[in-house]
């Protein structure tokens, strides 16, 4: 079976071609050309109706959902598809998808226009807006990681549920830390704790420092994904909206090239199983490794691992390319993981 990274790369090329030619696909074509291949690459057999049902109705009188993905005969994930030009912010689609899945007892819904995949937890006892787990704008190198949450394996072994639970814990802890430390008046408990672990600082010093520092609490998992598609953002949306989670922007490899953090011809390095690996960043953002050209850091990392160990499957070799590859940050001079360079640019 073709790897998810390869399918995502092909979808990238197709969407770029459609946008350049001004081609507006209807919903049926969007499903056939861009969504079916992704579902297949996620481990679901789209030719097996016991596993993938199209136009699924729980009861004959109900409106159908575009895809029902089944495990042991029971629907575990609904996928509602829209044409590539449709805006997924339409609350009718969100409400209808969640409502139908809730009634059917299906815990997860994915709403997609092939450019963006939004994953909703229908069982979460929160308002609809808060049911959104991941909004994957398919223009980042993490798209495959995030899309993998929808794989048959992730649904079967509970990975998606575990990621949701971990994300909710992170949200609560982050909110509490922000309130304690980053508010207009940091809590006395936080100031006291810092005082006990420092020397010669008054409470006034600590409060002034916290106001100046404005610390933030970022989830490493959120940045790295749990790899997310590289499909271009919708033409009607700002190109700045390159994000793997709602409300944040993850700079792409082309952003690093454009801003001078990296340049065409930059040498990338990695170590796997004790073997040093070398690659080259090309002008178009693709990666050259061992004579082949790869559309993303992740695809290049898979090729590199399989170069060392040809027996690895694509799934076993899959990794986050931003962590796998290292290079010199041209502005600071140090050699670090590309994820670190991207984080530096994002903070700027």
pLDDT digits (tens, 9 = 90+) for 246-272: 334 467 888 888 888 889 999 999 988
Which residue has 């690659």 as its token pair? 279
Domains of the chain: 4-154 (3.90.1570.30), 159-224 (no CATH), 253-347 (no CATH)
pLDDT-derived band of residue 234, with 50, 70 and 90 as boundaries? Answer: very low
Which residue has 């290049």 as its token pair? 300
Calpha distance 286→208 (Å, rounded): 46
Calpha distance 348→343 (Å, rounded): 9
Exposed, middle or buried by CB within 10 Å (0-12, 13-18, 19+), for 92?
exposed
Q: How far, in Å, are 34, 91, 145, 149, 264 from residue 315 at the CA level?
A: 21, 35, 11, 13, 29
pLDDT above 70 coverage of the chain, percent: 84
Q: Taking 50 as the threshold, does the pLDDT of residue 276 lie above it? A: yes
Which residue has 């790295």 as its token pair? 224
pLDDT of res. 10: 86
pLDDT, tens digit (0-9, with 9 covering 90-100), for 282-297? 988 899 999 999 888 8
Q: Taking 80 as the threshold, does the pLDDT of residue 119 lie above it? A: yes
Instruction: Give me 20's structure tokens.
Output: 């350049």
Encode 297-343 in three state secondary structure. HHHHHHHHHHHHCCCCCHHHHCCCHHHHCEEECCCCCCEEEHHHHHH
What is the three-class DSSP state of 346? helix
Summary mean pLDDT of the chain: 81
Neighbours of 95 (CB within 10 A): 11
- Which residues, 6 or more positions from 19, have their beta carbon under 8 angstroms from its beta carbon? 232, 235
Q: How far, in Å, are 96, 184, 232, 280, 293 from residue 30 at the CA level?
A: 20, 48, 15, 34, 27
First to last CA, the chain: 41
pLDDT above 90 coverage of the chain, percent: 27
Q: How far, in Å, are 125, 134, 151, 246 from residue 102 at the CA level?
A: 11, 18, 20, 23
**pTM more than 0.85:** no
pLDDT of res. 266: 92
- Which residues, 6 or more positions from 198, have their beta carbon under 8 angstroms from its beta carbon? 206
């Amino acid at each position: 079976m073709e790897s998810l990274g390869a399918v995502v790369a092909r979808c990238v090329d197709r969407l770029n071609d459609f946008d350049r030619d001004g081609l507006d696909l209807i919903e049926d074509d969007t499903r056939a050309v861009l969504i079916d291949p992704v579902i297949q690459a996620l481990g679901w057999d789209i030719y097996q109706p016991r596993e993938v049902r199209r136009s699924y109705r729980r009861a004959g009188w109900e409106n159908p959902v575009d895809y029902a993905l089944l495990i042991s005969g029971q629907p575990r994930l609904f996928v509602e598809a829209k044409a590539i030009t449709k805006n997924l912010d339409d609350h009718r689609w969100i409400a209808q998808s969640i409502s139908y899945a809730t009634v059917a007892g299906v815990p997860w819904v994915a709403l997609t226009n092939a450019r963006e995949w939004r994953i909703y937890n229908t069982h979460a006892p929160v308002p609809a807006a808060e049911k959104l787990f991941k909004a994957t704008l398919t223009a980042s190198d993490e798209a495959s990681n995030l899309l993998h949450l929808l794989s048959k394996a992730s649904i079967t072994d509970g990975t998606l549920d575990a990621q949701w639970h971990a994300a909710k814990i992170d949200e609560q802890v982050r909110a509490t830390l922000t309130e304690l430390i980053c508010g207009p008046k940091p809590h006395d408990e936080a100031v006291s704790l810092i005082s006990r672990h420092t020397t010669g600082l008054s409470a006034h010093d600590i409060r002034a420092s916290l106001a100046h520092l404005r610390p933030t609490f970022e989830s490493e998992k959120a940045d790295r994904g749990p790899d997310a598609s590289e499909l271009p953002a919708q033409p009607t949306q700002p190109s700045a909206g390159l994000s793997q989670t709602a409300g944040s922007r993850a700079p792409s490899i082309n952003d690093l090239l454009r801003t001078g953090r990296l340049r065409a011809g930059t040498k990338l390095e990695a170590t796997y199983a004790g073997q040093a690996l070398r690659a080259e960043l090309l002008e178009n953002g693709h990666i050259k490794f061992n004579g082949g050209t790869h559309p993303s850091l992740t695809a290049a990392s898979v090729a590199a691992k399989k170069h060392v160990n040809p027996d690895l499957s694509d799934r076993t070799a899959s990794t986050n390319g931003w962590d796998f590859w290292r290079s010199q940050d041209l502005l600071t001079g140090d050699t670090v993981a590309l994820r670190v360079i991207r984080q530096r640019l994002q903070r700027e």
